[in-house]
Amino acid sequence: MSPFGIMSLSIFLLFCCIGLFSLFIDYSMSGYMRAQEEEYARAKARSAAQFVQALAGDLSSPHTQKRVNQERFLPLQSEIGRLAENVGSRITIISESGIVLADSDMSVYQLLNADNHAERSEVRAALETGTGVSERSSPTLGVDYLYYAVRFERAGETLISRVAVDLESLYLQQTRLRQLLTIGMVFGIALVGLITFSLARALARSVEHSRKRLEARVTERTATLRQLQELGTLLAVCNSLSEASEVLAVQLPQLPPGTRGALSLMNNSRDMMIVEQEWGGRWTKGSFVSPGSCWSLRKNSMHWSEDNSLVCDHLKDEADKDVLCVPLIAQGDILGVIHLCQKAGGAFGNMELEIAQAISKEAAIALSNLNLRETLEQQALHDPLTGLHNRRFLEEKFDTFIEKATRADQNFWLLVVDIDHFKTYNDKYGHDAGDFVLVELATLFRKSIRNSFTACRLGGEEFALLLPDLDEAKALEFAEQLRRSVENMRLRFEGQPLGQITISGGLAGFPKDGSNLSSILRPADERLYHAKGLGRNRICKDLLVDELTDPRFSQPAKTAQRH
């Protein structure tokens, strides 16, 4: 064989070796890139599943695809679209029956006319084994896609999270790899190996970096959603506005983190905003400003004051004017403002602004509900005419008073009083005069009782006073002083004197007369009527009265009793 032949054979064998090696490298790298693409798609699908699990609301599957336009699915379609933009892939959420609940690449109209996906191979595989993968070409776009589906559970509902990855970039990478291998056949095995190794390392680092960045974004978003959900839960179980403001003071510094701020609530007269809570040390708790000094309340939307923009009046004397004001508005009612600024200065990003907006909605609804509840409780437990507690308050709170008296091993007295001849006032002076007497009597009761005592209007002209921590003598002494105070009242209505007003009362106590409201109220009523039968304008603590020693027992009264 000639040297040319030997060289040709050597070159041929070399190129054959290089070609086989290149084919092997091509096969291995294509498989590796395909595996990495599947791993990347699986990470996206699982991240999307975790994201959907964290969303609030009812996502139970409808019976038909046409019913996906219900309002409860609109937030899902919107959030899936945002997540798809972040991960750079198409995301589809599918029910167990194959109904498409959301698709990042579909409009609402397309979603309503989407085909049932129950028979898609990746969907069937995911329902059977938990994950499914398939590759097929889109007939409309003419592009090959890698579909990766993951099954997950949410609120007892089985759902499928599917990610579609465009394989064009993978094919392009494979083509470039083959070109490099071809060049390697010319420049030598060493160069080919070096380029292949470098390419593989670069590709692996790129995939790993992208995966970590995606996981970090999804983790951050999921954590924020969990915190918002926790905030909503805590606000929902608050029993008062003070509790709600404390919850906001704890939760707001974390959403968004690294902020200073304050919570200002509108006062009852609606003319001042008072700082209820603050964090970060910039605002002074208890300080106040006029509602008209904040642009967010004028606009009914967030307002970001900056040195070179429109600054709220309540910030003009501040050195740092870079403050975000978020109004708390529910059903058109202005409840207050949340003020936020960055501890290290700087601007708020879009994510922080979205979080602030979400917080304001949660807080406004919760505060509005608490306001309404307090108003309803006030109306339900107070008499609208006199402002005293009513019979319902007595029925609901009486056991609490008894329990406190039991724990402290103290007596507890119930004084029931009734205005004598009250019908006469209504008949002689009119019902307005009668109402005036009731109001004045309630005012006297409020001035006469201690902080621990409670006055209630049972109905009509009948009142009840709760007297804890007194012995029988002290309770009777208080009742007598109250009776004398009423007896000494001199009332005039519209310039006309109303004459003398007197009351009669019955005194009963715990544990002497009973252990609950009905058992104590019964003897108190009996003693009240007994006092009226003895001539009125007296307090009875039992049904036996010594007529000779009672100074209020006049001779005419005794004669009347005998007859």
Give all strands (DSSP E) within 332-453, no chain letters.
Answer: 333-342, 389-390, 412-419
d(CA 279, CA 372): 27
Secondary structure class of 265 (helix, strand, coil): strand
Q: Cα 190 vs. chain centroid, distance in angstroms?
A: 65
Q: Nearest CA to 413 among 458, 448, 482, 465?
A: 465
The neighbour count for residue 535, using CB atoms within 10 Å, is 18
Distances (CA, A) of 236 to 54, 222, 298: 18, 21, 28
122, 276, 352, 461: which is the annotated catalytic residue? 461
Assess whether 403 carries a catalytic annotation: no
Expressed in angstroms, the distance from the first to the final Cα of the chain is 158
Return phi, psi of residue 462, to 5°. Answer: -105, 135
Count Cβ atoms below 10 Å from residue 263 Cβ, excluding itself.
26
**CA distances from residue 422 to 245, 427, 436, 481, 502 in whole angstroms, order as listed:** 47, 9, 12, 21, 9
CA distances from 480 to 353, 371, 448, 522 (A): 65, 40, 12, 21
| 273-279 and 288-289 beta bridge pairing | antiparallel
List CB contacts of 215: < 8 A, sequence separation 6 or more.
Answer: 43, 47
Max Cα distance, the chain (Å): 159
d(CA 462, CA 415): 11
How far is residue 199's CA from residue 222's CA, in Å, rounded to a whole number? 34
Cβ partners under 8 Å of residue 324, min gap 6: 302, 303, 304, 305, 339, 340, 341, 348, 353, 356
Please give the single-letter amino acid code of residue 360: S
CA 397 to each of CA 194, 243, 413: distance values in angstroms, whole numbers, following the listed order: 85, 22, 14
Q: How far is CA 250 from CA 247, 258, 279, 382, in A?
A: 5, 13, 9, 34
Cα separation of 337 and 300, whole Å?
10
How far apart, in whole angstroms, are the C-alpha atoms of residue 313 and residue 301? 16
**Which sequence positions are flagged as catalytic?**
461
